[in-house]
């Protein structure tokens, strides 16, 4: 019997005795923004988009190619009428360079450069969404650790009361004023509370490991969270939030970029309807040699014969008819642009509905939070009075256990309600595009 009490005290000591590094919510977000793998991947994609956003990539510069070749030929001529007799060899070496520059192709270069700019903006927008989601996840993960921690503290208090009650009834039994039945009842309550404590401790450790994953740190790292699980209700205007959402929501801003990119794709399709004007220029240097015999056995040998040639021309290419493929592509891109506009309008409507739903949910959770705060005050007072009455012998152990259970349930409800209010508020801030400004400073 004594070993059970000592084990229960050991649980409480384990919970309260560990030395850990301090961690605030601001620190957790800073660590997550620095280490999160998805943010790093988004950063790499943005780096690629930034490098591609250049006039060279758009095709503004001419292309220059160099070429070289060397040829060696052997021939055997036994024709008596031929000037060259017997075996002969000839070699040719050539070196050259060609320049091709598209002077006009329906403003494709400028359109492509504008599209590359939008691709960079899109990459930045996608990275911003990842940052927002990471911040929101860390907020919820951090407060979930606080939630499980506070539940664990509440259970540790209940376990402490259960141990004191067990010792109290045990001493009364030794004096003959309590029965074995009473002792078994309080012992069973103490064991149940100890079991609940162990399960809650597991939930707390799992929540902490999940937070470490969100911060991309060692999952076995333990922290002492310095912030409190609390939320102060704010007066929010749904019209003001809707205006902020339409201008600041990152997902909607990304869709605006998609609309612009569709416009650029349409312009590129239109560029195929214009002629292409190109300038081509090049230089070629040839070196030839010959070694053989002429009539009468005269040795003929020459080397180093060179020739240098240049060329320059301007060409115009215009597709007169290709089955109207270019026209169909342009018309299709016009339709794709209209689809993008419809998607944007649908997204605005969906986000407005999400905002209104989140706003009403937040207000409901605030009201519930105020009610549970009042219930918790009542439960705490009821527990204190119940313990005094139990020790005074005016209520039974069964009645006191009911009071104790009601207190624990009220604490859990109040903590979960606080967490729910924090979650609803974070969702509202993200929808209105202010989560980075408010939490990612």
- Flag whether 31 is in a domain: no
pLDDT tens digit sequence for 269-281:
988 888 999 999 9
The string of DSSP codes covering 29-62 is: HHHHHHH-HHHHHHHHHHHHHHHH-SHHHHT-S-
What does pTM read for this prediction?
Answer: 0.82
- Flag whether 9 is in a domain: no
Helix ranges restricted to H, 93-179: 108-175
Q: Tell me, what's the pLDDT at 418?
A: 95
pLDDT tens digit sequence for 27-64:
999 999 999 999 999 999 999 999 999 998 888 888 99
Q: Please report how the helices 325-392 and 238-248 are oriented relative to each other, as an axis angle in degrees rounded to 10.
A: 140
- Flag whether 412 is in a domain: yes
Sequence-ordered list of residues with C-beta below 8 angstroms from that of 351, at least 6 positions apart, any chain: 245, 249, 251, 252, 431
The residue with tokens 């019997």 is 1
> Which DSSP category does 218 fall into?
-
- Flag whether 185 is in a domain: no
pLDDT tens digit sequence for 90-147:
778 888 898 898 888 888 899 999 999 999 999 999 999 999 999 999 999 999 999 9
> Which DSSP category does 203 fall into?
H
- Flag whether 241 is in a domain: yes
| Mean pLDDT, residues 315-334 | 88
Domain that holds residue 363: 234-275+323-441
Handedness of CA 416, 419, 420, 421 (dihedral sign): positive
**CATH no. for residue 432?**
1.20.1600.10
Helix (H) or strand (E) run with residue 394 in it: none
Number of domains comprising the chain: 1
- Flag whether 294 is in a domain: no
CA–CA distance, 394 with 161 (Å, rounded to integer): 18
- Flag whether 333 is in a domain: yes
- Flag whether 119 is in a domain: no
Q: Tell me, what's the pLDDT at 17?
A: 47
Q: Which two tokens stand for residue 57?
A: 């990539």
* Average pLDDT of every residue of the chain: 85
Distances (CA, A) of 401 to 154, 176, 206, 379, 381: 15, 22, 29, 13, 15
């Amino acid at each position: 019997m004594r070993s059970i009490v000592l084990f229960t005290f050991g649980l409480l000591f384990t919970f309260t005795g560990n030395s850990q590094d301090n961690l605030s919510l601001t620190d957790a977000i800073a660590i997550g923004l620095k280490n999160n793998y998805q943010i790093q991947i988004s950063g790499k994609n943005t780096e690629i988009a930034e490098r591609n956003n250049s006039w060279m990539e758009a095709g503004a510069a001419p292309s220059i190619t160099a070429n070289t070749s060397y040829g060696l030929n052997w021939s055997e001529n036994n024709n008596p009428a031929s000037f060259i007799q017997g075996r002969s060899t000839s070699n040719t070496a050539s070196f050259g360079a060609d320049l091709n520059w598209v002077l006009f192709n329906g403003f494709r270069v400028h359109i492509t450069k504008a599209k590359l700019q939008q691709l960079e903006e899109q990459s930045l927008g996608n990275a911003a969404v990842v940052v927002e989601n990471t911040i929101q996840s860390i907020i919820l993960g951090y407060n979930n650790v606080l939630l499980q921690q506070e539940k664990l503290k509440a259970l540790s208090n209940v376990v402490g009361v259960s141990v004191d009650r067990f010792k109290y009834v045990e001493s009364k039994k030794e004096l003959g004023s309590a029965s074995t039945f009473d002792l078994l009842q309080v012992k069973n309550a103490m064991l149940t509370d100890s079991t609940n404590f162990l399960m809650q401790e597991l939930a707390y450790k799992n929540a902490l490991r999940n937070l470490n994953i969100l911060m991309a740190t060692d999952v076995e790292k333990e922290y002492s969270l310095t912030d409190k699980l609390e939320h102060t209700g704010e007066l929010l205007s749904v019209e003001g939030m809707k205006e902020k959402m339409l201008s600041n929501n990152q997902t909607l801003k990304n869709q605006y970029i998609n609309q612009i990119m569709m416009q650029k794709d349409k312009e590129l399709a239109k560029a195929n309807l214009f002629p292409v004007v190109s300038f081509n220029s090049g230089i070629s240097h040839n070196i030839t040699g010959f070694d053989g015999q002429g009539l009468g056995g005269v040795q003929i040998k020459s080397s180093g014969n060179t020739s240098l040639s240049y060329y320059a021309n301007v060409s115009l290419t215009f597709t007169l008819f290709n089955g109207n493929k270019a026209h169909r592509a342009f018309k299709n891109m016009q339709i794709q642009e209209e689809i993008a506009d419809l998607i944007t309008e649908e997204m605005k409507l969906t986000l407005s509905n999400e905002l209104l739903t989140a706003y009403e949910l937040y207000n409901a959770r605030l009201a519930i939070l105020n009610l549970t705060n009042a219930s918790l005050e009542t439960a705490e007072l009821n527990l204190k009075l119940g313990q005094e009455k139990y020790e005074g012998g005016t209520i039974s152990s069964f009645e006191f256990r009911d009071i104790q259970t009601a207190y624990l349930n009220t604490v859990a409800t109040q903590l979960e309600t606080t967490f729910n209010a924090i979650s609803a508020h974070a969702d509202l801030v993200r929808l209105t595009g202010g989560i980075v400004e408010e939490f990612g400073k």
